[in-house]
A and B are shown apart, each in its own frame.
Chain A
Amino acid sequence: MSELDLANIDGGGTPSTTDGPMIRMEKVTKAFGDFVCLNELDLDVAAGEKVVIIGPSGSGKTTILRVLMTLERPDSGVVGVGGEALYHEQRGDGQLVKAGEKHVRRVRRKVSMVFQHFNLFPHMTAVRNVSIGPIKSLGRSRQQADERSRELLGMVGMAEKVDHYPAQLSGGQKQRVAIARALAMEPQVMLFDEITSALDPELVGEVLNVVRTLAHTTDMTMLLVTHEMGFAREIADRVLMFDGGRIIEQAPPTEIFTAPRHERTKTFLNAVLHH
C-alpha cells in the first residue's frame, strides 16, 4: 500500500437514507451569553460535497462543526444529517420533539471530526487510538478493528508508528493518526476544524496531503474550517464566507478568491492572503 493510499476509503459505511442534502441546517441559532455565534443559519450540503468555511475569528465557523458533532447543542433551529434530524425525533403525529441520547448517538454515528489539537488519547498507542471507536461504538471485534486500524494508519503514512504513543509522535504525525481515527468510524460526513493551525509550518504539508488525497479520491461529504487559502482553493467545491454567525457569501473557490462580491469578504481575503 502506498504512503497515502486513500483511494479505497469507503465514504460512509451506511449509505444516506435520503436523496436530499447530506447536511441541512434550518434557522440554527447558537449564542454564548450575549454573543451570537450562529444567527438563524440556513445551510444545505450535498452528499459528497467538499465545503470550506472561511471567516474571521468568532464568526461561527468552528461552532457550526461543533453543532454538527453534538459538542454544542443549538439554542434553536433544526439540524439534519443524512436525512434525519440530529437533535429532534419525529413523533407519531409528525411533530418534532427533543431527541433522546440514543437517537443522538445513532445519527451522530454518521459524522466524525478531526480537531485542531488532535485530541488523541495519550495513554493509548496509535493503533489503539484508531481502533477503540470501532470496537466500542461500531461493535467490531478487536481483531477486525486492529486490522482495519493498521490499514488506515498505513494509508496516512503511519505504518511504522502504529505502536507509538502520541507523546512519541510529531504534531503532523499526531494529526495523521487523528485523521485515521476519524476515518475508522466510517462516517458519511467528515469535519476538519483548523487541523493545521497547531502545527509547525514544516509539518503542515504532510497533513494537507492526506486531506487533499481524501478529498479527491472519496465520496465523503467534507466540511473544513481552514486558513490555508491555497488548499481551500484546491479542494473545495464551494467556499462559505462566515461573519457574525451568518454566511455572507458563498461561491465556488475560483469565483470567491478571484472576484469576491461582499466587501467583508474582500477585506478578509486581502488580510489573509497578504499577511
Chain B
Amino acid sequence: MLQIINKTISKGKAFRTALVFVFLFGTVLFLLPEMSLAEEVPAAEEILSPGSEEPMITAPKLTTDQYPTIMGISSRIIIWMVSQLHLFFGAFVLGVPIFVLVIEGIGMGSKDPRYDEMAYEFIKISLVAFSFTATLGGLLVFLFVLFYPDFFKYLTGIFKPSMIAYALMFFAESVTLYIYYYGWNAMKTGFLKWVHLTIGLLLNVAGMTIMCLSNAWTAFMMAPAGVDTVGTFQGSSWAAMHSPLWNPINLHRFIANIAYGGSIIGAYAAYKFLTAEYRKQKEHYDWMGYTANFIAVAALLPLPFAGYWLTLEMYSYSQQMGITLMGGIFAWLFIIQAVLIGALFLGANYYLWASMGRVTGSERYIPYIKYMAVLLVVCFLIWFTPHTIVMTAKEIKALGGAHHPILGVFGVMSAKNTAVNLMISTTFLSFLLFQRSSKIAVASWTRTGNILVAAIFAAGAANIIFLGVYGYYLPANIRIGLSIPQVCTTLFIIVACTVIDQLMYRKAKSTGPIPWGKMTQRSQYVLFLLAISFTWLMGLMGYVRSGIRQHWHVYTIMRDNSVDAFTPTLGYAAKVISVTVIIFMMMVVFIFWLGQLSAKKKEETPGVPVGAAESLAGAG
C-alpha cells in the first residue's frame, strides 16, 4: 500500500495540479475580503446586526461603472466559456468513475477479466481530464475575482464553509483517484480487490460531494435560500445551500454525468476502432463502443424525468421564472433542444440497429426496425413543433391568423410529453431486441412471456397516447400534471419488460458469438454524433440555466447592472456554445493523443492484422 501511495505522489501530475488548485482556491478565499475592486462605493453593505460582532452580509447594489473592465475582455463571455469548459470536464471526470465502479463490480462478479480491463481503460482516459478540470476550476476562480469581485465576495461570504470543503474534497478526490488507478493491478485479486472497490466507492463519494457542493452555489443564484428579500444572509450556510432547486439539479447532473461520460468514452472507442490495425483491437473497441453507448443511452432514458422535476420545482419556486423558461423568451430554446435530443435518440437507435445487423439470429427482428424508425421520426417531429409557427406577414394573412384555423395552437406539452415517452419506450425496445438477437429462449413459458411483453408495450403506448390526447382538452396548468402518469407508464414498461426478459432468457441458447469488430464506419460516426450532440446540449442547457436569471446575478436579490445584463439572442448563444464546444473537443483530442503516447508498450496479444485471416483463407 505504501508503494502505491508513493507511486501516486511521484507520478501524479494531475495530483500536483489539484494540490496547486486547492492551495490557490484556499488563498483566494481567505484573501478575497481584501481584493474587492469596487472601492468608491462600499461593495457589500455590511450592517451590524444588533448584539453581534459579526457584520451581516447583504447583496451589493452595483452600478455599471463598478464592474471591472480588463483589456476590453467581455466579462460575461470569458466567465461563460471557462465555466462551461470546467463543467464539460467536470461532468466527464465525475461520470466515468460511477460506471467504472459498476463495471469493475460486474467483472468481479462474473469473473470475466474483459470487464476489469475495460474499466481500467475507462479510468485511464479520465485521468488526464481530471488535470484539466482542476486547472479550469482554478482559472474560473481567478476570473470571478477579476471580473465579478463583488458578486464573488458576496457568494464566498455566504458559502465560505462549503467552499473550503469543496477545495479539500478536490484533494480527497485526487488521492483516491490515483490510488484507484495506480493500485489497479496490484489490488487485482482476493481481499485487495474488495479494498480497491472500496477506494473506488470513496472516489465516487468525493466526486459526488464536490458536485453537490458546487450545485448549491448554482442553485442559490437561481433560487436563493437562507437570505431575506434584500439578500441579507441569515447566518446558516446549510440553509443557503438548501435551495429548492438544489436536489433537482443534483439528480439531473448525477444522471447526466453518467450519460455524458459514456458518450465521450464512446467517441474515444470509435476513434480507436477506426484507426485500429489489428482485428483484436477492432473487436475490443467495437465492444467498448457498444458498452459506452449502452451506458450513455441507459442514463439518457431517465434524464427527461429529472428535467421535469427540476422544471416543476422551478415553477413551484417562481411561476414567473417557470413561464419565462417554457413560454417566454426561452421557449424557442427548447425547440433547439428538441433537435439535439432527436439527434441523440435517432443516433442511439441507429447504432443499436447497426449492432443488431451483424448478429446471427437478429433476422427475426430486422423487419421491425422500419416501423420503429418511422415512429421515432414522427415523435421527433411532434416534439420539434413550436407553439407558434414562423411565418411572414403574407403567410399569416393567407392562413387567416397566427394559428391554424382548425388545429389551433401547435406544440403543446401534451403532444410533446407523449412524443418523448414514446421515443424512450422505442429506444428501450431497440435495446431489448439487440439483447435478444443472439439468444433463443428455451423457457417453457416463452410464448406467454413474449405475448406479455408485447401487451405491456402496446398497452403502455396506448395509455401514453390516450393521456396525451386527453390533455389537449385541459388547461395548460392541469394538463402538465398528466406528464406524471405518462412517465410512470414508461418506467413501468422498462422495468416490467426487463424483469420478464431476464427471467425468460436466463438459460437461453446462444445463436453464436457476437461478431465484434464487424461494425460499419457509419456507425462509428454516429458515436461521434452522440458525443458532439451531448456536449452541445450540455452547453445549451448550461446557458438556459444561467440565462433564466436574466438581469440578476442572484435572482431577485442581486441585480446585474453590468453592460452584459441583457439576455442575448439564441443565435448569439449558439455561437458562444459552439466555440466552447470546439475548444473542448480540441482538448479532448489532446487527451486522446496523450493516451496514445503513454500506450507505447506492445499489446500482449497483438492479434491478427485486419484482413490477414481472409487472405490466408483465400490462399488456402
**Are A and B co-members of a single complex?**
no
